[in-house]
Chains A and B, each alone.
Chain A
């Protein structure tokens, strides 16, 4: 069996597991909607104001939802011992880890993209901007998953670590947030959103290539304790 084959099998396994825990996979979605809801409640529902903050609101809600879902990414693997086995396989841990993060993105983050346009319309974003919003999220949320996964791997040996995870992750999320929202803002103002989108794509390439080795190194360290 080739490496590609086993990566595919790993991805299928994770998708199957996520599917059997549909209820849990729903939680990030509910969280996302709730955070989007809090902004108008906290700031006021004036249409102009909401329209102005809509891109930022959706991006921040998506970012927090990804953050919330990260803690369980490697923790169950660590606790049930399957991480040890993964490390001992005669395969590149970097590739295995990248596959797992991708499967996680597919099952927990991608559904957010289906909800995002609905929330965007509810916040008063005009419909011609939606496609840019979706593009920015499609390019940006994998960055959030891959960068966040590094932190999730770093805190694997620490129980009750939600706050620490946020402290480690949020500063690293700043670039994706800035370029994601400014792409949407540009589009809303009628300026070309291409610049920020290109930079987001560059960030995506960077995080896809650089974070799996870092995640693998952190997981090895965690297991060697």
Chain B
């Protein structure tokens, strides 16, 4: 499994966000996208997730152009943006069930995922009663249900408390150990010890 970017560039409202961006990422690696606000981190991640097309350049998934491998890619990738993708008027559990049904994945992992993210006790409460940190945890528990190879995460630690951040680091570390791949942006330092972290700095 590998993802590769060649000469990506992106223009938004007359502004060149980045250009000639190339990198590749293998199994077991984490790509940390750094940069100031407005440097195009989110936009880059959205391009990598396949939500947006680069203005120039191309993406490859397992050596195949991404545009022709989209179906396989969407099975192997989970996207968590800064928006949680959660329905406020459903319970935590209902949200995950709806998500599993839409992605056509097994709902068996839901209980385990809720336990691991510490939401088990709250899983039958409406999400609108959750705190911001709990919503974030619920959103991250999608990662544990789908168990995709590649995770693309936009600011995963945002609105998490210390415990939540530790939880995230544990999950991420496990994923890398199992030869998963992570692409993420962050304002925080990521403590992942021995794992191989590739840094990508977007200068504005």
Contact = CB atoms under 8 A, between A and B. Distances in A.
Interface of A: 1-3, 5-6, 9-10, 13, 16-17, 20-21, 79-82, 84-91, 96, 223-225
A20 B51 contact: no
Contacts of B53: 224
B101 interface: yes
Interface string B16-56: 00000000000000000000000000000010011111000
B88 interface: yes
Is the interface on chain B under 10, 10 to 19, 20 to 34, or 35 or more residues? Answer: 20 to 34
Contact of A81 (B84, B94, B98, B105): B84
B124 interface: no
B86 A80 contact: yes
Given A9-B97, A85-B99, 4 more contacts: A10-B101, A21-B89, A80-B83, A90-B74
Interface string B63-93: 0000000010011010101111111111000
A82 B86 contact: yes
Nearest to A2: B104
A16 B83 contact: no
Nearest to A87: B51
Nearest to A220: B51
A88 B84 CA distance: 14
B203 interface: no
B103 interface: yes
B102 interface: yes
B83 A88 contact: no
B97 to A, nearest CB: 8
A-B complex: 5 closest residue pairs judged by Cβ atoms: A81-B83, A9-B101, A81-B85, A90-B74, A224-B52
A9 B83 contact: no
Nearest to B77: A88
A223 B53 CA distance: 11
Contact of B94 (A2, A13, A96): A13
Contacts of B77: 88
A85 B143 CA distance: 13
Interface of B: 46, 49-53, 71, 74-75, 77, 79, 81-90, 94, 97-99, 101-105, 126
B85 A82 contact: yes
A2 B82 CA distance: 30
B81 A6 contact: no
B84 A89 contact: no
Given A9-B101, A90-B71, A16 B90 contact: yes
A90 B105 CA distance: 11
A129 B81 CA distance: 53
A97 to B, nearest CB: 13
B103 A89 contact: yes
Contact of A80 (B75, B87, B99, B103): B87
A16 to B, nearest CB: 7
A217 to B, nearest CB: 14
Given A13-B90, A80-B88, A88-B74, A5 B101 contact: yes
A216 to B, nearest CB: 14
- Which of B77, B97, B104 has the most C-beta atoms of chain A within 10 angstroms of its own C-beta? B104
Given A13-B90, A20-B89, A91 B83 contact: no
B102 A6 contact: yes
Given A16-B94, A81-B81, A223-B51, A86 B86 contact: no
A84 B152 CA distance: 13
Nearest to A81: B83
B89 A90 contact: no
Nearest to B127: A80
Contacts of A9: 97-98, 101-102
A90 B103 contact: yes
B83 A84 contact: yes
